C-alpha cells in the first residue's frame, strides 16, 4: 500500500500549521541563512521563550510543541544547521504554536518588527529571524 498524502503532523490542526511547515523546510534547505540571521537578543529571547512556554504549559499545545521541537531537531540535522539556527527556528515555531494571531508578523517590515521587539512583544522577538530568512529565500 502506498500513501498518496503525507501523514498529518501533530500541529496540522493549528491555524499556523503552514507557517510551521515553512520554517522546518527552510531550516533544512537553508541552514546557513538561519545561522547568519541569528538575532542574538539574549535577554529578550529568554523572556519571550518563557512567555510562550507559559502560554502553552499544561495544554494540548504543550504536546504539539514537543513533537514540533523534535521535528526541528531532525530538520536541523538533515540541513546540518548550527545550534543558533536551531534555536531561532525553534523559537519561531514555539511562537506560532503559542499565539494563533502572530503569523502576520512573518510579513512585517524589519522596521516594524524592530519597534515591536523594542516594546517587548514576545511573538515579534521570536519570529524576527524567521521573518528575515523566509523573506530572503522566497
CA angle 8, 12, 16 (to 5 degrees): 155
**DSSP label at 100?**
T
CA dihedral sign, ordered 26, 19, 65, 102: positive
Q: What is the mean pLDDT of residues 18-30?
A: 93
pTM confidence score: 0.89
> What pLDDT score does 84 carry?
79
**Arithmetic mean of pLDDT over the chain:** 88
> What pLDDT score does 34 carry?
86
> What pLDDT score does 40 carry?
61
Q: Which residues contact 34 (CB under 8 A, 6 or more apart)?
A: 26, 27, 81, 82, 84, 85, 86, 88, 89, 129, 133
Which residue's entry shows cell 504539539? 64
For residue 9, CA distances in Å to 18, 34, 59, 71, 137 come to 11, 23, 17, 10, 24
Confidence of residue 51 (pLDDT cuts 50, 70, 90): very high
Question: What are 92-135's pLDDT values in tens digits?
Answer: 999 999 999 999 999 999 999 999 999 999 999 999 999 999 99
> What pLDDT score does 134 carry?
95
Amino acid at each position: 500500500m502506498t500513501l498518496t498524502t503525507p501523514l498529518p503532523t501533530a500541529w496540522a490542526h493549528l491555524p499556523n500549521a503552514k507557517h510551521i511547515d515553512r520554517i522546518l523546510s527552510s531550516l533544512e534547505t537553508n541552514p546557513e541563512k538561519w545561522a547568519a540571521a541569528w538575532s542574538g537578543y539574549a535577554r529578550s529571547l529568554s523572556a519571550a521563550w518563557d512567555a510562550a512556554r507559559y502560554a502553552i504549559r499544561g495544554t494540548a499545545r504543550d504536546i504539539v510543541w514537543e513533537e514540533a521541537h523534535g521535528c526541528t531537531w531532525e530538520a536541523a540535522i538533515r540541513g546540518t544547521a548550527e545550534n543558533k539556527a536551531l534555536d531561532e527556528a525553534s523559537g519561531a515555531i514555539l511562537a506560532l504554536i503559542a499565539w494563533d494571531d502572530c503569523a502576520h508578523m512573518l510579513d512585517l517590515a524589519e522596521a516594524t518588527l524592530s519597534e515591536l521587539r523594542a516594546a517587548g512583544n514576545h511573538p515579534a522577538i521570536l519570529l524576527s529571524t524567521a521573518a528575515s530568512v523566509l523573506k530572503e529565500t522566497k
